Amino acid sequence: MRTILALVRKEFYQVFRDRNMLRMIFLMPMIQLLILGYAINVDVKNIRTAFYDYDNSSLSREYIRDFSSGGYFITTASDIPLPDVNEAFTENRFDAAIIIPEDFSENIYTGQGVTAGMIVDATNANSAAISMGYAGLITARFNSDYSALASPITMRQRLLYNPEAESVYYMVPGIVAVLLTMITVMLTSMAIVREREMGTLEQLMVTPISTPAFILGKTIPFAILGYIEMSIALAFGILWFNIPFAGSWLLLYGVAFVFLFTTLGVGMFISTVTGTQQQAMFFAWFFSIFAILTSGFFNPISNMPESVQYLTYLNPLRYFMAIVRGIMMKGAGVLELYRDIGSLVVFSLSIFTFAWMRFSKRVE
């Protein structure tokens, strides 16, 4: 026990001896939260749209108003004649153009129907698809406004858990999970490999420190650091972004403890297959990118191709992500999360045990 404590203390000395490292450890979660909290917004808004209204009637203006009042489309003045409109797209002056033919109102009043044109810049395919969807919806509403058939049957929608529809409420819990993964995997693997690179691992091995004591001495500091990072991120998220916390803190920190076995285990495993810090960093990073992109962090897993969806089941971060979001946003407890928690426990224990065994073998 004493030896472990001494090793932990040594590791902390090493990390904090460098003032810059200390700054980095506190700054990193805040910078990440600030950037990600504000930048991640896949909602399509502010579609710069040029309107070519050849009808110029009250009805066509009404149609344009429907577009600009929804918050999705913003009207952009265009001094470019319609035949040269492609030029404006190449120069990235606007994202869409809507063309209203001159017989627009006439054909609507006489009940003949009319076709309005829409040109979209599909460089960003996702935004283009969504903006066409919006345009279709606005047109459908316009149509029902101008028919006597306005239906008495309506649909009422209600948002649960996040009534203001703030995407930052969803991203911050996700960032907490991502931070915890990246920091612990990278720092653990690099710290162990560093001893090897510097040649101090041999020195440690000739001291009466047992292998388990060495492993614990190398992992506990980063578990603590991970907790600190997570707490900073949570505090910052709650104080700065005012994200609600609906569930149990105890459960969150408890599950984080289980998850740490995964990341520390992965870090330890990486240290057994690499010889330099650069390699360790690279491997850790490779793991992190895979884990983050297939965790459902910024796009829903149900949206991925089926083969990739199966792959995500092998990703422990996927379960942790769902758990953190469930606890923080929905106030979910063990009853709702038992499947995710169960999978996480199984993954964590097996990864950690495997890494431990491999590491012990390597050292002896």
Partner 1 sequence: MHKIIHIARKEIMHIRRDVRSLFIAILMPLLMTFLYGYAINLDIKNIKLGVLDFDKSVESRELVTKYFSSGYFIPAESQVQLDDPERVLKLTDAHVVLVIKPGFAEALANRTEYQVGLLLDGADANLAAAAGNYAAAVFNQYLVSMLPPGMELPGVTMSHQVLYNPDLKSSHFFVPGLVGVILMMISALLTSITIAREKETGTLEQLLTSPVTPRQIIIGKVLPYIGLALFDGLLVYGFAILHFHVPMTGSNLLLFVFGVIYVIAALSIGVLISTLVKTQQLAMMAALTVTMLPSVMLSGFVFEIKNMPLFLQWVTSIIPAKYFILIIRGIMLKGSGIEVLWPQAAVLIVMTLVLLGIAAKKFKMKIG
* Closest C-alpha among 50, 55, 70, 41 to residue 135: 70
**Judged by CB under 8 A, does residue 156 bind partner 1?**
yes
Which of the ranges 49-57, 151-159, 216-224, 254-262 carries the binding residues for partner 1, by CB under 8 A?
A: 151-159
Tokens of 161: 């858990």
Kindly tell me which of 67 and 347 has the beta carbon lying closer to partner 1: 67
* Closest C-alpha among 219, 211, 234 to residue 184: 219
**Judged by CB under 8 A, does residue 308 bind partner 1?**
yes
Kindly tell me which of 3 and 101 has the beta carbon lying closer to partner 1: 101
Which of the ranges 31-39, 202-210, 236-244, 350-358 carries the binding residues for partner 1, by CB under 8 A?
A: 31-39
* Number of shown-chain residues binding partner 1 (CB under 8 A): 119
Q: How far is the CB of 172 from partner 1 (least distance, A)?
A: 12
User: Quick one: which H or E segment has residue 38?
Assistant: helix 19-39
Q: Compute the C-alpha angle 332/333/335, nearest 5°.
A: 110
Q: Which of residues 182-241 bind partner 1 (CB under 8 A)?
A: 182, 186-187, 190-191, 194, 197-198
**Judged by CB under 8 A, does residue 83 bind partner 1?**
no
Q: Which of 6, 26, 41, 212 binds partner 1 (CB under 8 A)?
A: 41
Torsion over CA: 242, 244, 249, 252 (sign):
negative
**Judged by CB under 8 A, does residue 314 bind partner 1?**
no
Q: How far is the CB of 263 from partner 1 (least distance, A)?
A: 16
Q: Which of 1, 2, 111, 208 binds partner 1 (CB under 8 A)?
A: 111
Query: Which whole-number Å values give the CA distances from 33 to 98, 229, 263, in the listed order?
Result: 38, 11, 21
Q: Which residues contact 341 (CB under 8 A, 6 or more apart)?
A: 255, 258, 319, 323, 334
Q: How far is the CB of 145 from partner 1 (least distance, A)?
A: 10
Query: Which whole-number Å values give the CA distances from 119 to 54, 64, 87, 103, in the listed order?
Result: 16, 15, 13, 19
**Judged by CB under 8 A, does residue 250 bind partner 1?**
no
Q: Which of 51, 89, 222, 261 binds partner 1 (CB under 8 A)?
A: 89
Kindly tell me which of 188 and 262 has the beta carbon lying closer to partner 1: 188
**Dihedral class, residue 196 (left if φ above 0, else alpha if ψ from -120 to 50, else beta):** alpha
Q: How far is the CB of 361 from partner 1 (least distance, A)?
A: 19
Q: Which of 82, 205, 235, 273 binds partner 1 (CB under 8 A)?
A: 273
**Judged by CB under 8 A, does residue 305 bind partner 1?**
yes
Q: How far is the CB of 25 from partner 1 (least distance, A)?
A: 8
Beta bridge partners of 100: 53
What is the distance between the alpha carbons of residues 244 and 347, in angstroms, rounded to a whole number? 29
Q: Which of 78, 139, 211, 360 binds partner 1 (CB under 8 A)?
A: 139
Q: How far is the CB of 227 from partner 1 (least distance, A)?
A: 18
Q: Which amino acid is residue 255, in one-letter code? A: V
Pairing of strands 47-53, 96-100: parallel
Q: Which of 51, 55, 73, 121 binds partner 1 (CB under 8 A)?
A: 121
Q: Which amino acid is residue 336, in one-letter code? A: E
